[in-house]
């Protein structure tokens, strides 16, 4: 038994529900390892868990992504040993901790040429990008695509990955500073939705045709613009709820927009078995290694300051990736 520090919530709500507490951590059980966290990823899904977009049993931990080192192994663990560098993202929460016990099956080895900070910042967002582009959208060279929140954590990776696949990338942002960040990542065109009509501008940029696919991690606020920006029989990928979940969908609007295809995919339906998970992570690390995508860590917070990190993330004060340091 060791004494550790971890985030706990006893109710869902605003950042004020986050508590930083002492916890007793037992020895790892069957099939588990004790993972000492060196860097923890901050993701929008963490705010959904905290805020109630996704209902959770209470009390609960928070956080789904981290990198660190194996400190102890439980019975039956053969793939990892003490001292191995590992990273994780998963269905279970609890990464906001100095250390935790976690099933070995949820771990990925961190390659020697990838830092812990990059692994923690990139694994969930990068694997999300991989499945969206490679498995969900099947984008071809020359396709015009729209990426909402193009200066955000997933948005920046999408811009880079889609450019690598030969797409013409249109990105939306809310400020000129974010526009510069998205352009530097490779976006061909920028729409500042604070003073431009996203759909009208998309039509202008595509000769009236619209885009082949929309990558929408914003949700309700951008839903209508996403439909209106798509070409006939185009694809709208609604993969996030940053502004709240899309509700009250009228399928006639989908038909009237040009017989569009709509999907609301989740990473874990594309990373079902160990082989899929391993292949996706391997492709991500290879893309980083080759310089196809650059992981832009723009904010670092102490893990104990995670409530402020949540406030800044939800206020759209952050760009790129953010990590929390135990």
The correct CATH number of 2-123+269-325 out of 3.90.220.20, 3.60.15.10, 1.10.3760.10, 3.90.180.10 is: 3.90.180.10
So what's the pLDDT on residue 1?
83
So what's the pLDDT on residue 213?
98
Nearest to 162 by CA among 271, 274, 245, 237: 237
Give the integer Cα–Cα distance in Å for 293 and 273: 25
Give the integer Cα–Cα distance in Å for 231 and 177: 29
So what's the pLDDT on residue 12?
98
Q: Where are the alpha helices (DSSP H) in the chain?
A: 44-51, 116-130, 153-164, 176-185, 198-205, 223-229, 251-256, 267-270, 274-289, 306-314
Give the integer Cα–Cα distance in Å for 120 and 102: 16
* Per-chain mean pLDDT for the chain: 95
Residue 254 is encoded by which pair of tokens? 């989908």
Residue 314 is encoded by which pair of tokens? 């939800």
Instruction: Confirm if 234 and 260 have CB atoms less than 8 A apart.
Output: yes
pTM given for the model = 0.92
So what's the pLDDT on residue 241?
85
What residues does CATH 3.90.180.10 cover in the chain? 2-123+269-325
Instruction: Confirm if 172 and 198 have CB atoms less than 8 A apart.
Output: yes
Burial 139-156 (b: 16+ CB within 10 A, else e): beeebbbbbbbbbbbbbb
> Span 185-203, mean pLDDT?
96
Q: pLDDT of 247-284, one tens digit each? A: 888 899 999 999 999 999 999 999 998 899 999 999 99
Give the integer Cα–Cα distance in Å for 87 and 128: 15
- The fold for domain 141-264 equals Rossmann fold (3.40.50)
> Span 50-75, mean pLDDT?
96
So what's the pLDDT on residue 13?
98
So what's the pLDDT on residue 246?
86
Q: pLDDT of 83-134, one tens digit each? A: 999 999 987 899 999 999 999 999 999 999 999 999 999 999 999 999 999 9
What residues does CATH 3.40.50.720 cover in the chain? 141-264
């Amino acid at each position: 038994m060791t004494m550790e520090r971890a985030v706990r919530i006893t109710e869902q709500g605003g950042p004020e529900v986050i508590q930083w507490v002492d916890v007793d951590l037992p020895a790892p059980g069957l099939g588990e390892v004790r993972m000492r966290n060196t860097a923890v990823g901050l993701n929008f899904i963490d705010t959904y868990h905290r805020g109630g977009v996704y209902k959770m049993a209470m009390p609960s931990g928070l956080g789904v992504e981290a990198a660190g080192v194996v400190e102890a192994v439980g019975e039956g663990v053969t793939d990892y040993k003490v001292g191995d560098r590992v990273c994780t993202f998963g269905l279970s929460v609890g990464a906001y901790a100095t250390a935790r016990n976690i099933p070995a099956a949820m771990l990925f080895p961190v390659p020697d040429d990838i830092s812990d900070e990059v692994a923690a910042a990139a694994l969930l967002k990068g694997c999300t990008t991989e499945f969206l582009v490679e498995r969900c959208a099947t984008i071809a060279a020359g396709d015009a695509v729209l990426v909402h929140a193009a200066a955000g954590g997933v948005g920046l990776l999408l811009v880079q990955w889609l450019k690598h696949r030969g797409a013409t990338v249109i990105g939306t942002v809310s400020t000129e500073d974010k526009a510069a960040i998205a352009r530097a990542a490779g976006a061909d065109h920028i729409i500042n939705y604070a003073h431009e009509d996203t759909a009208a501008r998309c039509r202008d940029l595509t000769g009236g045709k619209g885009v082949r696919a929309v990558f929408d991690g914003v949700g309700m606020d951008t839903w209508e613009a996403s439909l209106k920006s798509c070409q006939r029989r185009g694809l709208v990928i609604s993969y996030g709820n940053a502004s709240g979940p899309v509700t009250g969908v009228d399928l006639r609007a989908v038909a009237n927009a040009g017989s569009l295809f709509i999907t609301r995919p989740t990473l874990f339906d594309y990373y079902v078995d160990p082989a899929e998970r391993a292949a996706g992570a391997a492709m991500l690390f290879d893309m980083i290694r080759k310089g196809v995508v650059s992981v832009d860590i723009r904010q670092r917070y102490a893990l104990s300051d995670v409530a402020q990190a949540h406030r800044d993330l939800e206020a759209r004060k952050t760009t790129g990736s953010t990590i929390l340091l135990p």
